[in-house]
Structure 1
């Protein structure tokens, strides 16, 4: 799924211009990102839950050279599908 797909669905649903639908899709995505930064997660009922998790610093191997590389601590986003989504798919 892409932002263009979301904008297309909004445009068809609301019968609005492509510019307005694209702006709406952009605002929707930005609102979801803000909520995840603020609360650490986001839930769409009947779809699933996105959660932000912290990752620890670790050592990894470069697959080409086999050389050890340090990977910094960071954050990642996880998704857990709702039971309704699992049944639908």
Structure 2
């Protein structure tokens, strides 16, 4: 598994930037993507994919142990769709 630290080290090595600068860039990138998703905007990174927000409606579920009805609140979830370029590169 590749970790955040591994990515920062590899990007720093490929760009000649320091690990500190690369780490700050990575953190800023994640922050910008998070802010866009929080504003219900999608983020498209050409060659990588698209981040978007999935809305889940409120619903009633059942507790499998007791059978009791449980209300589940509406929520939002981040989704990622892989670009066709990346799919082709993997296959």
Per the TM superposition, whether the score is higher than 0.5 is yes
Give the TM-score, by structure 1 length.
0.78
Distance 1:5 1:86 in 2: 22
Q: State the Cα RMSD in Å.
A: 2.1
Given that 1:53 and 1:75 are in contact with CA atoms closer than 8 Å, whether structure 2 keeps it comes out as: yes
Given that 1:3 and 1:26 are in contact with CA atoms closer than 8 Å, whether structure 2 keeps it comes out as: no
Given that 2:37 and 2:78 are in contact with CA atoms closer than 8 Å, whether structure 1 keeps it comes out as: no
Structure 2 residue runs of 5 or longer lacking an equivalent are: none
Q: Which residue of 2 aligns with 1:52?
A: 53
Q: Which residue of 2 aligns with 1:70?
A: 71
Q: Aligned residues, how many?
A: 89
